[in-house]
Amino acid sequence: MKKEPFVTKTQLDEIVKEYPTPFHLYDEKGIRENVKALKEAFAWNKGYKEYFAVKATPNPYILNILKEYGCGCDCSSYTELLMSESVGQVGENIMFSSNDTPAEEFALADKLGAIINLDDITHIDFLEKTIGKIPETISCRYNPGGLFKISNSIMDNPGDAKYGMTTEQIFEAFKILKSKGAKEFGIHAFLASNTVTNEYYPTLARTLFEVAVKLQKETGVHIKFINLSGGVGIPYKPDQEPNDIKVIGEGVRKVYEEVLVPAGMGDVAIYTELGRFMLGPYGCLVTKAIHEKHTHKEYIGVDACAANLMRPAMYGAYHHITVVGKENEPCDHTYDVTGSLCENNDKFAIDRQLPKIDMGDLLVIHDTGAHGFSMGYNYNGRLRSAEVLLKEDGGTQLIRRAETPMDYFATFDCFPVYEELKKNTEEADKLGK
C-alpha cells in the first residue's frame, strides 16, 4: 500500500522556487473537509463543540480556518492563550487544560473568560487564591488509574500518568467546588494516545458517562459537558486503516442514549479537543536530498533535521516518506534518511526501502501536520522552518516565515556583544545572497 502526498511534483517544483526547503506544507482543502466530517459525526448532540488542541499546530492561520466551523481552542499555556485571543477566541470558546499550572496562567485564563479544567484537587485552593473566586463554570480532569484497554491492540496506563484526579478526588472536588459557588460542571479525561480504532471514543465515553451519572446523583451538581479530549489518532503507516469519524460519532451516540438519557442527563454537551486527527495528515515536511554517504550503511542526508520534526528521534515514530516524482519506481534501495544534528538519533527513517535517491530530489515526509513544527527547537543553532498553506485554489500562502539568525540572537540584546552579532549576521546574509 502507498501513501499519496496531497501535493504533486508539478506543484512542489513551483512552490520550492518561492520557499526554500525545508518547510512544513499544509493542505487547506483537506483540513476543511475533515472538520466538516467531524461536525457531521457529532451533529446529533445539540451542544457539541470541538476545542482544537493548539499545541498540535500553533498557527493563527490554522486556528482561523477552524474557527470558521465553530471550533474553539484547547490551551495549556500562557502563550497559547494569547494566540487564541489574537484570533478572537475568548470566553467559553477557550478550554484551558493544563497541569502544574503557574498562577499567571490561571489569571490570564480567567481574564479571558476561558473554561478552566482543573488537573488536581489541590488546584482548587490555588485557583481561588490566584483569582479570588471559583468560576461558576468549572471542569475537572479525571484519571481512573489502572490500565485502559481496547480489544487486543490498544493499551495505555493511566495509573502512571501525571494527569487528573482519582475517582475519590473528583467526587470530593465537585463537592468543594459546589460549596464555593460553582454552578456548571464538566468532566474531562484523556486515557490513550493516537488510537487507530473506532472503539476508543465510545469506550472512553462509557467510562465518563457512568462516572458522570454517579457524580450528579451523589453531589447534586449539574453536569453541563463531558470532554472526551483527544486520543483519536491517524494511520502513520500505509497498511493502517484510518479511523472512521462517522462510525466513532455513532458509537458515542449509542452509549449516550444507553447511559445518560435514562439518567435524565440528555442535555449534556459533548466536547472534543482533537489535534492529531484534525491536522496530522494535512501537513507534510518538504525537504531536499543534499548528501549521500556510503559507509557501514547507506545514508541520505537531507536539509531538514530533528529540529524540524522531532518525533522520529524522540519516539522512534514512523513517518512515511515519498520521493517526489519517483512514486512508481521500485523501492529497491535501503537507506537511513538523516539530518545534520550532532546526535545519532537525528534520523527520519532507518533501513527504509525507498527508490534510488539522487541529490536534489525532493522528499515529502508525511503526517507532520500535528506535533511536527510545534515540537521544533534550536539545538545546534538550527532554525525553525517556514510554514506554508497550500490553498484550495492551488495557490500558496506563507503563514509563518522561516527563522533567521537574528531571531536566534534576539534574546541576547542585554549583552554588548549583541550589536556585533547583528553586524556579523547582516554581513553573512549579504554573502548568502
Residue 282: closest CA among 20, 62, 87, 19: 62
User: With contact defined as beta carbons under 8 Å apart, do 275 and 55 qualify?
Assistant: yes
- 39 phi and psi angles, rounded to 5 deg: -60, -40
84-116: burial string, b at 16+ Cβ within 10 Å, e else: bbebebbebbbbbbbeebeeebbebbbebebbb
- Taking the C-alpha atoms of residue 377 and residue 415, their distance in angstroms, rounded to an integer, is 23
Q: Among all chains, which residue has been given the C-alpha cell 451516540?
A: 253
Residue 129 CA neighbour count, 13 Å, CB half = 7
- 238: how many CB neighbours lie within 10 A of its CB? 12
Integer angstrom CA distances of residue 165 from 74, 136, 187, 212, 225:
19, 20, 11, 14, 17
In one-letter notation, the amino acid at residue 34 is N
- Taking the C-alpha atoms of residue 68 and residue 73, their distance in angstroms, rounded to an integer, is 12
Active site (catalytic) residues? 342
- Return the SS3 of 172: helix
Q: Are strands 137-141 and 148-150 parallel, antiparallel or unpaired?
A: unpaired
> Which of left, alpha, beta for 111 (phi over 0: left; psi -120 to 50: alpha)?
alpha
Cell representation of residue 387? 510554514
Residue 255: closest CA among 207, 287, 194: 207
Q: Are strands 283-294 and 362-365 parallel, antiparallel or unpaired?
A: antiparallel
- HEC sequence for 204-261: HHHHHHHHHHHHHHHHCCEEEEEECCCCECCCCCCCCCCCCHHHHHHHHHHHHHHHHH
User: With contact defined as beta carbons under 8 Å apart, do 57 and 374 qualify?
Assistant: yes
